[in-house]
């Protein structure tokens, strides 16, 4: 587990755990935005929330999908987030029996913050740089928005990119908002597109309906979402 | 100017300026939320945006309303923000002739991010701690929301607290969203309340209309906003 032992992750008073948990830093300002930043303003925290919006994740999977984070930093942030009521850690029942991290309802309420950041960041996205990592599910929130703009607010949509598959739970008020890999249920629509098209849609330069009409997005499935995208 | 010279603030290539401007750190992730955090994720940046939503501010005023920030940190962040297109710096015409910092339209577009953070942070606000600083205008965004929830979406509202006065430009699509001190024009409504009431309204525990009805907010003025608050 990348130099990271179960004992260190557990609730214990041993000095190495305490060292890893940073003292909570505060702006000491009686302002609700400053208070929010006390909880989520540290580097990596909101990107960990992004990953956990995809449902419960194992430490190793989180680490793999947060390229650039050190194991110490990730462990420290997860401790802080648990202390602050944003996440919980639990052991899956057998035969899984691994520990997973998941958002509390309070943590999930950070979705509007991530969406606002993502929408502001659309014009910052630019082209992919040689140094940029990419995971297919990082397109989940932009595509969710594009689907909403196309009038599709509910249903399960599976998305296939060269970089991987993910699925979206549109209109989900609790539980995961998206997940990695194919949809675990029959999806209402299946979309196949390349990352150039996906980037243009994410940047808001290309509407999803237009992209379908231009043949840049292939739509499969018979659900209402698929029909709406094909027929609109 | 707090150990801070005009030459250091100016556009120059002298080593002390370059030392102050931190190299842009990036998550190197092709994700719009991560890109946004590349620009605004550093400590203090979003709180500087909060201050600049009140219109152009001098360095000394910014420093005074960001208790806890060091002059070096503030100068460094302002440089970064200018480099990233969030702010500009200009000299006011005589007789003012001082330098002010202001948001670009791109910087102002961060308002939804600050609002989302502030709304999430409402339940984090709690009671004022002995170590908490407070400025009256930190209640501006929560009150703006409370006024919108009371059905008041346009007009100028002046707010008087023991801690100071500020005013709100409701429905402003450009320019300042609020400002410190009394309104520079005849306001549509004047509100006087104490910080305990203002905190309850900010936390969403007390509606503004209910607070007026209970006599906890005094409403002056003859504009439609005043009438709506008194009559609702």
Burial A185-196 (b: 16+ CB within 10 A, else e): eebbbbbebebe
Question: B157-187 pLDDT, tens per residue?
Answer: 999 999 999 999 998 888 889 999 999 999 9
Given phi > 0 = left and psi -120 to 50 = alpha, else beta, which region is B29? beta
Give CA–CA dist B128/A24, Å, rounded.
Answer: 17
Rounded mean pLDDT of A125-138? 95
Q: ipTM of this model?
A: 0.89
**Residue A125: pLDDT over 50:** yes
Rounded mean pLDDT of A22-26? 77
Report chain A residues whose CB lies below 8 A from the CB of B121: 31-37, 39
Whether residue A62 is preceded by a cis peptide bond, meaning omega within 30 degrees of 0, is no
Instruction: Evaluate whether A158 touches A189 at the Cβ level (below 8 Å).
Output: yes
Which among B30, B39, B110 has CB closest to A134? B30
* Residue B90 CB coordination number (10 Å): 10
Q: What is the dihedral of CA A178, A184, A185, A191, to 10 degrees?
A: 60
Q: What is the mean pLDDT of chain A?
A: 90
Q: Which fold has domain A130-231?
A: Nonspecific Lipid-transfer Protein; Chain A (3.30.1050)
Which among B28, B68, B106 has CB closest to A132? B28
* Residue A220 CB coordination number (10 Å): 14
The band of A197, judged by pLDDT with boundaries at 50, 70 and 90, is very high
Give CA–CA dist B122/B205, Å, rounded.
Answer: 10
Most B-contacting residue of A28, A68, A112, A124 (CB-CB within 10 A), to test interface? A124
* Helix (H) or strand (E) run with residue B189 in it: strand B189-192
Report chain A residues whose CB lies below 8 A from the CB of B202: 32
Question: B7-46 pLDDT, tens per residue?
Answer: 333 344 444 444 455 567 899 999 999 999 999 999 999 9
Report chain B residues whose CB lies below 8 A from the CB of A54: none
B174 vs B81 pLDDT, higher one: B81
Give CA–CA dist A127/A202, Å, rounded.
Answer: 12
**Residue A9: pLDDT over 80:** no
DSSP code string of A175-204:
S-SEEESS-SS--SEEEE--HHHHHHHHTT
**Residue B105: pLDDT over 90:** yes
Residue A63 half-sphere exposure, CB side, CA atoms within 13 Å?
Answer: 15
pLDDT of residue B17: 47
Rounded mean pLDDT of A111-137? 96
Which among A28, A35, A142 has CB closest to B121? A35
Tell if the CB–CB gap between B121 and A34 is shorter than 8 Å.
Answer: yes
Residue B43: helix, strand or coil by DSSP? coil
* Helix (H) or strand (E) run with residue A83 in it: helix A71-83
The band of A18, judged by pLDDT with boundaries at 50, 70 and 90, is very low
Question: A34-86 pLDDT, tens per residue?
Answer: 999 999 999 999 999 999 999 999 999 999 999 999 999 999 999 999 999 99
Nearest Cα residue to B146 out of B209, B218, B194:
B209
Instruction: Evaluate whether A187 touches A156 at the Cβ level (below 8 Å).
Output: yes
pLDDT of residue B97: 81
pLDDT of residue B1: 33
Q: Tokens 């969403």 belong to which residue?
A: B204
Tell if the CB–CB gap between A29 and B138 is shorter than 8 Å.
Answer: yes
Tell if the CB–CB gap between B121 and A36 is shorter than 8 Å.
Answer: yes
**Lowest-confidence segment of A21-25, A126-130, B107-111, B191-195 by average pLDDT:** A21-25
**Residue range(s) of every CATH 3.30.1050.10 domain in chain A:** 130-231
Tell if the CB–CB gap between B46 and A41 is shorter than 8 Å.
Answer: yes
Instruction: Evaluate whether B100 touches B92 at the Cβ level (below 8 Å).
Output: yes
Residue B169: helix, strand or coil by DSSP? strand
In Å, how far from its chain's centre is CA A31? 27
Tell if the CB–CB gap between A32 and B125 is shorter than 8 Å.
Answer: yes
What residues form DSSP beta bridges with B218? B192
Query: Residues in chain B, how many?
Result: 232
**Residue in chain B lying closest to A128 (CA):** B30
Question: B123-146 pLDDT, tens per residue?
Answer: 999 999 999 999 999 999 999 999
Give CA–CA dist A52/A139, Å, rounded.
Answer: 14
* Helix (H) or strand (E) run with residue B74 in it: helix B71-83
Instruction: Evaluate whether B33 touches A122 at the Cβ level (below 8 Å).
Output: no
Chain A from 145 to 184: CB within 8 A of any B CB: none
Give CA–CA dist B87/B40, Å, rounded.
Answer: 12
Instruction: Evaluate whether B11 touches B89 at the Cβ level (below 8 Å).
Output: no
Burial A95-125 (b: 16+ CB within 10 A, else e): eeeebbbbbeeebbebbebbbbbbbbbbebb
User: Does B28 contact chain A (CB < 8 Å)?
Assistant: yes
Chain A from 106 to 125: CB within 8 A of any B CB: 106, 109-110, 112-125
Tell if the CB–CB gap between A125 and B37 is shorter than 8 Å.
Answer: no
Please state which CATH class domain B6-109 belongs to. mainly alpha
Which among B29, B37, B40 has CB closest to A67? B29
Give CA–CA dist A198/A211, Å, rounded.
Answer: 9
The band of A22, judged by pLDDT with boundaries at 50, 70 and 90, is low
Chain B from 68 to 97: CB within 8 A of any A CB: 68
Q: Tokens 């599709």 belong to which residue?
A: A152
**Residue in chain B lying closest to A43 (CA):** B41
B13 class by beta-carbon count within 10 Å (0-12 exposed, 13-18 middle, 19+ buried): exposed
Residue B50: helix, strand or coil by DSSP? helix
pLDDT of residue A10: 39
Residue B214 half-sphere exposure, CB side, CA atoms within 13 Å?
Answer: 10
In Å, how far from its chain's centre is CA A172? 14
Which among B46, B67, B124 has CB closest to A32? B124
Whether residue A95 is preceded by a cis peptide bond, meaning omega within 30 degrees of 0, is yes
Q: Tokens 């995208």 belong to which residue?
A: A229
**Residue in chain A lying closest to B138 (CA):** A31
Which among B113, B125, B133 has CB closest to A116? B113
pLDDT of residue B23: 66
**Residue range(s) of every CATH 1.10.10.10 domain in chain B:** 6-109
Please state which CATH class domain B131-231 belongs to. alpha beta
Give CA–CA dist B125/B121, Å, rounded.
Answer: 6
Give CA–CA dist B40/B43, Å, rounded.
Answer: 8
The dihedral through the CA atoms of B225, B226, B229, B232 has a sign that is: negative
Chain A from 33 to 62: CB within 8 A of any B CB: 33-41, 43, 46-47, 50
Percentage with pLDDT > 90 across chain A: 82
């Amino acid at each position: 587990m990348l130099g990271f032992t179960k004992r260190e992750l557990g609730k214990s008073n041993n000095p190495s755990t305490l060292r890893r948990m940073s003292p909570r830093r505060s702006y000491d300002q009686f302002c609700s935005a400053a208070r929010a930043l006390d909880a989520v303003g540290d580097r990596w925290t909101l990107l960990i929330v992004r990953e956990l919006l995809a449902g419960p994740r194992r430490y190793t999977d989180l680490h793999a999908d947060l390229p650039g984070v050190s194991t110490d930093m990730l462990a420290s942030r997860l401790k802080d987030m648990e202390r602050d009521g944003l996440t919980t850690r639990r052991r899956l029942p057998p035969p899984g029996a691994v520990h997973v991290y998941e958002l509390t309802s309070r943590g999930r309420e950070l979705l509007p913050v991530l969406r606002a950041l993502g929408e502001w960041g659309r014009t910052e996205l630019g082209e992919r740089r040689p140094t940029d990592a990419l995971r297919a599910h990082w397109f989940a929130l932009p595509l969710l928005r594009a689907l909403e703009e196309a009038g599709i607010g509910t249903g399960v949509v599976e998305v296939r990119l060269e970089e991987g598959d993910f699925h979206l739970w549109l209109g989900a008020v609790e539980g995961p908002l998206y997940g990695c890999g194919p949809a675990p249920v029959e999806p209402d629509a299946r979309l196949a597109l390349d990352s150039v098209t996906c980037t243009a849609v994410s940047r808001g330069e290309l509407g999803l309906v237009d992209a379908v009409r231009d043949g840049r997005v292939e739509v499969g499935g018979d659900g209402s979402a698929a029909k709406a995208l094909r027929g609109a």
